[in-house]
Amino acid sequence: MINALAVEGLSHNFGGLQALSDVSLHAAAGERLVIVGPNGAGKTTLFNIVTGLISPNRGRITLFDRDVTRLQPFRRARLGLGRTFQITTLFPKLTVLDNVLLAVQGADGARFTLHRPATAYPHLVRAAEQLLDEWSLGDRRDVPTRHLSYGEQRQLELILALAARPRVLLLDEPTAGLSPAETAAVAAMVQRFPRDVTLLLIEHDMDVALALAERVVVLHHGRVLAEGTQAEIRKDPRVAEIYLGTDDA
């Protein structure tokens, strides 16, 4: 089976701080891979390097067997690599529909002009409306994004990520800051993502992580501590000692 994403021997320093050290991992096409670890384990640094925001000191990154280690972020995005962030990155004064419309337009390649309304692009409007209906935010389409609950904003970010039609999608703590009910709603949404999208998730909530994961990678001090299925990770004594019994896992 082809790897959608592979990281080989990735290392990175921030001055004298070793953020990542010889990290290797892979995700098969369509797989759900969850990366866990406490604060400072290197999880977000790993995502920043994979998406091209940071250049590694050593190592190699391939996307569907194509070396993307030195490609700029926008070129990786064109190859199908998408990402969400821990902090919401929505346009708060625009409506829900307008936010999705911009994401759909970016994926479509159509160019808006200032003297034409968005309704002049009916195929894009239909696509945006279909996404909102499919993911149960259709009744919020005309609401300014700043008036959504935080949980709804997180759901909208996931819709925007899907609007870009990614082949590999990195989700950076999609349930961070959510209530238990909101966490359950976002987790259920992620579970419904199409199987032609390979998912890599950073998740601080171990229960959510193990519920979503087909395979788990545990990072500790910038290194891979353990890797395996949900069952294998649950039984690993190192993981049980360092993570499962702590609040920052």
Q: Are residues 126 and 188 in the same domain?
A: no
Q: If residue 23 lies in a helix (H) or strand (E), which one and from where to where?
A: strand 17-28
Tens digit of pLDDT per residue, the chain (249 long)?
A: 689 999 999 999 998 899 999 999 999 999 999 999 888 899 999 999 999 999 999 999 999 999 999 999 999 999 999 999 887 789 999 999 999 998 998 777 665 554 566 667 788 999 999 999 999 999 999 999 999 999 999 999 999 999 999 999 999 999 999 999 999 999 999 999 999 999 999 988 888 888 999 999 999 999 999 999 988 988 899 888 876 554 443
Q: Are residues 108 and 69 in the same domain?
A: no
191 three-class SS: helix
Residue with tokens 């499962």: 244
59 three-class SS: strand
**Residue 132 carries which DSSP code?**
H
Q: If residue 202 lies in a helix (H) or strand (E), which one and from where to where?
A: strand 198-202
Q: Are residues 69 and 106 in the same domain?
A: no
Tell me the pTM: 0.89
Look up the CATH number of the domain holding residue 70.
3.40.50.300
Residue with tokens 């009910």: 181
Q: Which domain holds residue 46?
A: 1-80+167-249
Q: Which of 116, 135, 3, 13 is nearest to 67 (CA)?
A: 3
Q: Are residues 172 and 211 in the same domain?
A: yes
Determine the Cα–Cα distance for residues 94 and 242; give it in Å rounded to an integer: 43
Q: Looking at the 3D structure of the chain, how many domains does it have?
A: 2
Q: Are residues 14 and 60 in the same domain?
A: yes
Q: Are residues 72 and 176 in the same domain?
A: yes
Q: Are residues 76 and 92 in the same domain?
A: no
Of the three residues 165, 184, 213, the one that is the final residue of a domain is: 165
Q: Are residues 138 and 29 in the same domain?
A: no
Residue with tokens 């519920």: 211
